[in-house]
Amino acid sequence: MTLVAAIAATGIASAQQKADNAELQSVLRKMDATAARFQSAQAEFIWDQYQRVVDETDTQKGTVYYRRAGKEIEMMADIREPDQKSVLFKDGKIKVFQPRINQLSEYGAGKNRAEVESYLVLGFGGSGQDLAKSFDVSYEGEEKLNDVRTAKLQLVPRSEKLKANFPSIVLWIDVDRGVSVQQKFFQTQGDYRLARYSGIRLNEKVPSEAFQLKTNSKTQVMAPRG
């Protein structure tokens, strides 16, 4: 490559970086605006967990709810398939209720609360500024998913604890509404978790019972470590 060609290539790369950064800042500002007025969200989901060692994918389907509670975001996932299960994130705790065996497992996030919250509510109600504080974010272009125009963002966790579980994460952000419509969490050894959301409803009234676990007096409560 001649010196002139090298200089031209450097200039083109620099211009592309500036363009990508401008697009990234636009997406983050949209997320900021959405977060500023965020009260609740509801969506249907499909969660795929791929395990490379056995080359198998486990799929869960259901409805997920989010709501703002003070400065925090609470989440409830009602899993309908393949087995009924409810997962509640509230007050820094994760509670998993399995009605088939009538068992409630409680996990405290403890010192890892910020990391746990980043994982569970990523792309729903969080601001672009907070995203940039927790991750190194890069813009990977636009992509259309189910007729929705999205911005593809590559995230590398700043937290070493989160990075140990998820070295990188990809978010597909609806550029018009500033929320995530798809997420891919890359794990070690080729495993990944793909989350797809549809029928997203923002700031509509969500009944309070949507965030209540349907336990009873006979429910067995467990507090596993870890």
Angle at 46 between CA 203 and CA 69, to 5 degrees: 30
pLDDT at position 134 is 87
**pLDDT tens digits for range 78-94:** 999 999 999 999 888 88
Contact 60, 82 (CB under 8 A): yes
Q: Residue 199 maps to which CATH number?
A: 2.50.20.10
Handedness of CA 26, 29, 33, 35 (dihedral sign): positive
Over 90: is that where the pLDDT of 70 sits? no
pLDDT of residue 7: 56
pLDDT over 90, % of the chain: 61
pLDDT, tens digit (0-9, with 9 covering 90-100), for 91-121: 888 899 999 999 999 987 666 666 666 667 7
Q: Is the pLDDT of residue 30 over 90?
A: yes
Range of the domain at 144: 3-222
Residues pairing with 138 in the sheet: 154
Is pLDDT at 214 greater than 90 in this prediction? yes
Higher-scoring residue by pLDDT: 218, 224? 218
pLDDT of residue 40 exceeding 70 = yes
pLDDT at 226: 53
* Res 12: pLDDT: 56
Q: Is the pLDDT of residue 9 over 70?
A: no
Range among 123-127, 151-155, 207-211 rated most confident: 151-155
Closest CA to 122 of 160, 157, 82, 83: 157
Could you report the per-residue pLDDT of 157-195, keeping only the tens digit for each?
A: 988 888 888 899 999 999 999 999 999 999 988 899 999
Q: Using CA atoms, how far apart are residues 143 and 175, in angstroms rounded to an integer?
A: 10
Opening angle at CA 34, ends 33 and 40, nearest 5: 150
State the pLDDT at residue 208. Answer: 87
Q: Give the integer Cα–Cα distance in Å for 203 and 201.
A: 7
Per-residue confidence (pLDDT) for residue 16, from 0 to 100: 66
What pLDDT is stored for residue 180 in this prediction?
94
Beta strand 72-81 with 135-145 is unpaired
Total number of domains in the chain: 1
Q: Does 14 have pLDDT greater than 90?
A: no
For residue 108, give both structure tokens: 């405290």
**Structure tokens of 107?**
């996990």
Between these two residues, 225 and 106, which has the higher pLDDT value? Answer: 106
| Mean pLDDT estimate for the chain | 87
